[in-house]
Each structure stands twice: as structure tokens, then as C-alpha cells.
């Protein structure tokens, strides 16, 4: 068992990962079971529509939507840091919650009682079957670190990958400057 594969950890894509779904991404792990697999959300890729364009009950809301991953891209999920306002969310740790009462969340958003900085909407999710992510970890596809609210709810998603690597410190910080294709170096 890999102790880095657990809810509340971030998967940081290796700088040379070529998979277009995960190139230079950071994935927040939300659920992991050895027998059934792992679920998470890419936290640093904006989707081309707003939540108001995707969900009729939030029509007019300009909150961005993020591309959670390539699985079930006909579903919308959300992360938040308002457990006192949105009930039934699953604690991921580090003051981060996955889901909860959507009707309540929608009302809070519509009534400006929850800020864009406290909730993130995702279309689709990232998923791995039994043993798949462990295999990718052995292949050194991912670096890992603990999630925290400044990274998950970062105001500038284009900096999340770099800032996640900076959090690792030391020798990892040089990875920020590596090109996608090392032959271009």
C-alpha cells in the first residue's frame, strides 16, 4: 500500500508527463479504497463555461467551473470550505469538503452568502481503478504533498502546479523550470 495515496493529498504531475488529461496538473484526492480505486479532481484547469451556463438553477452566476478530469464529464461536483453552511459534505481534511447539500450550496451562491473563493465547481472527475494509481506512483508519474486550502482554493489556477512543487521544497523546486519536452532544453 502506498501511504501517499489517500484523501487529502495532492498528486502533482511529473513535469514530463505527456498524457494531455494530466499534463502539468494537480489532482486533489478525495476518496481512496484499495479494492475499488481512487477519485479526485484536477484543481488547476479552468473549464470554458461558468456554473451558470451549466446549471439552470444557477443561471447568471459567473463562478468559474474547473475541469475535474476525464471521467463522467456530464456531472458537476463541488469542493468547499464552508461546513457550517453546507451540510453533508465529506471532509477531505485540511478544512476542505467534497460535496454536500447542493440545494443549500446553490441558494448560498445565488444569495451571495458564499464567496467564489470558498467554493469550486468541477465538471467530471479523475478516477483510477484498483491498483492503477499505485502502479502510476511506482512509475514516478506523480509527486505527492498534503493538500491545503491556499493551494486548493488558489486565486490564480495557473500557478497551482508550480506552487505545489514549491511546497515540496528542496531539489523539487528546479522542476518548475523544466520544459514539457526535455529535448527542447
Domain boundaries, the chain: 9-175
Percent of the chain with pLDDT over 90: 84
pTM above 0.85, yes or no: yes
pLDDT tens, position by position, 39-72? 999 999 999 999 999 999 999 999 999 999 999 9
124-133 confidence digits (pLDDT tens): 999 999 999 9
Distances (CA, A) of 27 to 107, 128, 149, 179: 28, 12, 13, 20
- Strands (E) in 5-147, as ranges, are 9-13, 26-33, 37-42, 46-50, 64-67, 71-80, 90-93, 96-98, 119-128, 142-146
Confidence grade of residue 179 (pLDDT, cut at 50, 70, 90): low
- Domain boundaries 9-175, CATH class: alpha beta
Amino acid at each position: 500500500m502506498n501511504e501517499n495515496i489517500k484523501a487529502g493529498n495532492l498528486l502533482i504531475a511529473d513535469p514530463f508527463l505527456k498524457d494531455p488529461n494530466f499534463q502539468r496538473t494537480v489532482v486533489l484526492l478525495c476518496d481512496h479504497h484499495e479494492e475499488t480505486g481512487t477519485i479526485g479532481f484536477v484543481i488547476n484547469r479552468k473549464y470554458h463555461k461558468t456554473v451558470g451556463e451549466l446549471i439552470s438553477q444557477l443561471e447568471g452566476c459567473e463562478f468559474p467551473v474547473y475541469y475535474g478530469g476525464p471521467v463522467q464529464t456530464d456531472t458537476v461536483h463541488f469542493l468547499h470550505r464552508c461546513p457550517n453552511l453546507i451540510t453533508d459534505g465529506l471532509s477531505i481534511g485540511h478544512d476542505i469538503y467534497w460535496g454536500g447539500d447542493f440545494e443549500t450550496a446553490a441558494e448560498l451562491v445565488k444569495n451571495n452568502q458564499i464567496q467564489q473563493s470558498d467554493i469550486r465547481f468541477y465538471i467530471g472527475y479523475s478516477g483510477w481503478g484498483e491498483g492503477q494509481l499505485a502502479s502510476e506512483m511506482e512509475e514516478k508519474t506523480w509527486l505527492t504533498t498534503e493538500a491545503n486550502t491556499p493551494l486548493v482554493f488558489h486565486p490564480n489556477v495557473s500557478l497551482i502546479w508550480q506552487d505545489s512543487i514549491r511546497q515540496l521544497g528542496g531539489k523539487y523546486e528546479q522542476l518548475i523550470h523544466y520544459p514539457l519536452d526535455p529535448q527542447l532544453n
